[in-house]
Amino acid sequence: MKVTIRLLGFGLLLAAAFGVAAVAGSSVDVKRGHSTHHADQMSAMNSMSAMSSDTHSHAASSTSSMSGMAMSVGGLPQGLSVEEENVRLVPATTTFPLGRTADYRFRILDGHGRVVRDFQVEHAKKLHLIVVRRDFAFYQHVHPTMAADGTWSIPLRLGAAGVYRVFADFQASGAENTILATDLFVAGDFQPQAVPAPVTRTTVDGYDVALRGAPRAGSEGMLEFTVTRAGQPVKVQPYLDADGHLVALRQGDLAYLHVHPQEKPGHGGPIVFMAEYPSVGTYRLFLQFKAAGAIHTAEFTQEVR
């Protein structure tokens, strides 16, 4: 009888011990699950925060054709990559001879590696090619021709050594305006030049060009250019279906800003652009206008605040 009672008591003790363990285990598991869920939430929040920060960082340095910094569909600056939206700039070479005229050739390929041959006419041309040395000491805007196989070519002469940036500005049929770019290396004794100080007036080929307007970073503002000669206003001639052509490049990464006049060609007043600088920094402006049958390029530096 005593043995039976003792065994019964021992069994009750074991049952109680297992019950406590089960409750404790359940509590620990719940807490552990809550902790894991909380950590997962925090991880997801941190990832979203990082993505938001990265997006904000890109947006802060972003660069729309016609009214401000040219931007890709994804919101990133244009002119900084050889590939965008399934089109790619493929140059025939990355080096170029010094001081000798030679053909610069390239092709535009789609996302499947096929040559793109169908382009829209934008501002009188199917493709605009901008060549600029990275220190802004050289600038040229030309219009290559396309062969039947889709190869574009243009004769160039680069008279100084250095690293040049080549921008292809085009609109393939059925697509948005696209600006792709690549570097071109000219070997030799490279003497980099400092970017000229900001000015609001300059002279080119006997024409005086005055700049008015200083848009602040992140907001659209006016850039107005007045052309005079010997103190008299000059009525510029239409150039690329407009009174003028303006490209601005941000110092450092050469983010590409391409705008066009607000007025119809031949209106006779100042050449007015609306532009939006994406960030604080130094920008080099290249204004091209036509007068007396010739194309003239006026250059300005602006410090954007």
Looking at the domain assignment, is residue 296 inside a domain?
yes
Q: Which of 186, 209, 231 is the last residue of a domain?
A: 186
Distance CA 16, CA 279 (A): 71
Q: Domain check: are 94 and 36 in the same one?
A: no
Write down the mean pLDDT value for the chain. 80
Number of domains in the chain: 3
The upper half-sphere exposure of residue 152, i.e. CA atoms within 13 Å in the direction of its Cβ, equals 24
**For the segment 189-235, what is each residue's pLDDT rounded down to a tens digit?**
999 999 999 999 999 999 999 999 988 998 888 999 999 999 999 99
Exposed/middle/buried for 219, CB within 10 Å: 0-12, 13-18, 19+?
A: exposed
Residue 266 has pLDDT above 90, yes or no: no
Residue 116 has pLDDT above 60, yes or no: yes
Length of the chain: 305
Looking at the domain assignment, is residue 230 inside a domain?
yes
Q: Which of 124, 152, 186 is the last residue of a domain?
A: 186
Q: Domain check: are 89 and 180 in the same one?
A: yes
pLDDT of residue 201: 98
Range of the domain at 122: 83-186
Q: Domain check: are 211 and 236 in the same one?
A: yes
Q: Domain check: are 38 and 115 in the same one?
A: no
Looking at the domain assignment, is residue 73 inside a domain?
no
Q: Domain check: are 161 and 110 in the same one?
A: yes
Looking at the domain assignment, is residue 131 inside a domain?
yes
pLDDT of residue 77: 62
**For the segment 44-64, what is each residue's pLDDT rounded down to a tens digit?**
434 333 333 333 333 333 333
Residue 8 has pLDDT above 60, yes or no: no
pLDDT of residue 85: 82
pLDDT of residue 218: 86
Looking at the domain assignment, is residue 69 inside a domain?
no
For 234-246, what is the HEC assignment? CCCECECCECCEE
Residues paired with residue 170 on neighbouring β-strands, in sequence order: 127, 178
Q: Give the other-Cβ count within 10 Å of 99's Cβ.
A: 11
Q: Domain check: are 92 and 49 in the same one?
A: no
Residue 161 has pLDDT above 80, yes or no: yes
pLDDT of residue 269: 83
Looking at the domain assignment, is residue 267 inside a domain?
yes
Q: Which of 186, 212, 247 is the last residue of a domain?
A: 186
CATH of the domain at 174: 2.60.40.1930
Higher pLDDT, 167 or 46: 167
Looking at the domain assignment, is residue 75 inside a domain?
no
Q: Domain check: are 180 and 233 in the same one?
A: no
- E strands within the chain? 83-84, 87-91, 102-110, 127-133, 139-142, 145-146, 152-156, 162-170, 178-186, 201-204, 207-212, 220-229, 232-233, 245-250, 256-259, 271-276, 281-291, 294-304
Looking at the domain assignment, is residue 180 inside a domain?
yes
